Amino acid sequence: MIIQVRGLVSHEKIAQFPHIANVCPSDEPLPAVPGTARAQVWSDPEKAFQEARQSGKKVLVIFSGSDWCLPCIRLEKNILTDSSFLQFARERLVMVEADFPQRKKIPPPLKAQYESLADRFDPEGAFPKIVLLAADRSLVGILSYTGQSPAAFIEEVRKKL
């Protein structure tokens, strides 16, 4: 399921609301939290693309509304925290969550980076929207979350790699 945000509500409008995600404005990925994908999700897209260039990995960008979008919450719970997905992602992906929540504020530099990614890869405002990018920010593929199992989602990603 994908929520389409259209008309008067845009990424910019959504981003004006406070941010809920754990944001770490440092040069490192978010700290490890047992049982979550946070160990490998970068908060800073610029640093994530730099890591992708150095490692040769693709970048998985997840456009999310972490505190209001039910399909986004399900994606996080059912796929992004699954041990098999975490192992797969650790080996093959650099992950970025471009989050547009409603309760907490994100730092302006990150907000600007998320907006820039959204303008280019999610102009329609679909949540969740999952895109696979090369280190040079070229589109490799668009993925969908339809409630499939972690194994099925991993297979979908693998086909795009």
pLDDT means per 10 residues in the chain (161 residues)? Answer: 36 39 38 46 93 96 95 95 95 95 91 96 96 98 96 97 93
Residue 150: give the domain boundaries.
3-160
Determine the pLDDT at residue 71: 96
- Quote the number of domains for the chain: 1
Residues in Cβ contact with 51 at an 8 Å cutoff, skipping those fewer than 6 apart: 42, 57, 94
Residue among 87, 92, 36, 26 at smallest CA distance from 66 = 36
Determine the pLDDT at residue 43: 87
Residue 125, domain CATH: 3.40.30.10
Give the DSSP per-residue string, 86-133. HHHHHHHEEEEEEE--SSSPPPHHHHHHHHHHHHHH-TT-EESEEEEE
The tokens 């907490």 sit on which residue?
A: 104
* Residue 119, φ and ψ in degrees, nearest 5: -60, -35
Determine the pLDDT at residue 40: 75
Global pTM reads 0.77
Determine the pLDDT at residue 159: 97
